[in-house]
Each structure stands twice: as structure tokens, then as C-alpha cells.
Amino acid sequence: MKKIIIVSLFFLAALSFNVSAHESSSGEKFGKTLNLGLGIGYYGYIGGATPVFHINYEFDVAKNFTIAPFITFYTYSRSYYWGGNKNFPPRYYSYRETVIPIGAKGTYYFDDLLKASPKWDFYLAGSLGFAIVNSSWENGYEGDQNVYHRASALYFDFHIGTEYHFNSHRGAFRDLSTGISTIGLAIH
């Protein structure tokens, strides 16, 4: 509960934070954008891709540069074969891990440099934060609970992406990254 309160306060503070908007030479503002994304992630030791939900809100901080507080959610489960004595016959035991990365994403837009159409945005970004990790094993498992390497508490990711603007209020984006890649809706 304490973590939920801290996360909620973080996002309320971020949303109420008023940063003066800077414009690119084309007059476009990149900030004040809510990004909702679905995708796949490979964060920590998963052994494959897993579905991810991601949300961030961008604020303009300098010409062509934004900061976006974010929160991401994913969960996955695996099985592990364990046992072998009279009290614990060998069988598969289930393992579940839920990971919630929280942090900030700094984004630089290359639209001016690339002379991009106003319908398109192109960017490079980096995310830094921490991850709330909750791991649990099936009842009855008495083996090593560190068999799977848990996701790190430090979250760090590089991004390259693009957004297509349907109009001045809506767009679609594709964000490819080193850990969590998403496709989604941008609301300006």
C-alpha cells in the first residue's frame, strides 16, 4: 500500500508540474502529451517476450527535448522442475513475477534536423528509474527461490521511435527499445 501511495504522489506531482513550453522552429510543441502503449518486454530474466502496458506524460523542457514520468506494468509465470526426496516428489512448480518500472524518460526530437513533415516526429530517448518487483512461488515449493534471476531494481532503457499525427490532438507511435517496445496512442 505504501508503494501505491508513493507512486500516486509521484504522478500527481509530475502532472501538476508546470514547465514553460519551448517550440521547435516549425512551431511544434512536443510536450503535454499522454502516451498509452501496449507492447512486448524483455526485462530481467524472463526467457522470452511478455505483454507490457506503458503510460507516460511528456513535458517540454527545452527546444526539441521533453521529460516524461512513466509507469509500466508486466507480469509473467514460468515452471521449474524440483523435488526428489520422499517429502517432495519431483514435479513442476509455478513461479510468477510482476514488475512495475517507474521513472522518467528524456526524449530528443530530430524533426528539425531531418526536416520532417509536421505529420511525423522522430526521436531518441533514454529512460531511468526503478522497478517494483513482486515474486511468488506455488505453495509447497521448498527449493531455492532464487533459481530465476529476479529483475533488477534499477531500470535503464534506450529508445528510438516515431509518431504519426492523425490531427493536432491524436497520433500513433512506435517506440523500439532495449527492454520494452510499444505501439500506442498519443493524446496531445
The whole-model pTM stands at 0.76
What pLDDT digit, counting tens, does each position of 23-37 carry?
Answer: 444 555 677 999 999
Supply the CATH classification number for the domain 2-72+99-131+151-187.
2.40.160
What pLDDT digit, counting tens, does each position of 49-92 carry?
Answer: 789 999 999 999 999 999 999 999 988 887 777 776 677 778 88
DSSP state letters, the chain: -HHHHHHHHHHHHHHH--------TT-----SEEEEEEEEE--SS-SS-EEEEEEEEEEEEETTEEEEEEEEEEEEEEEEEE--SSSS--EEEEEEEEEEEEEEEEEEE-HHHHT--TTEEEEEEEEEEEEEEEEEE-TT--S-TTSSPPPPSEEEEEEEEEEEESSSSEEEEEEEESSEEEEEEEE-
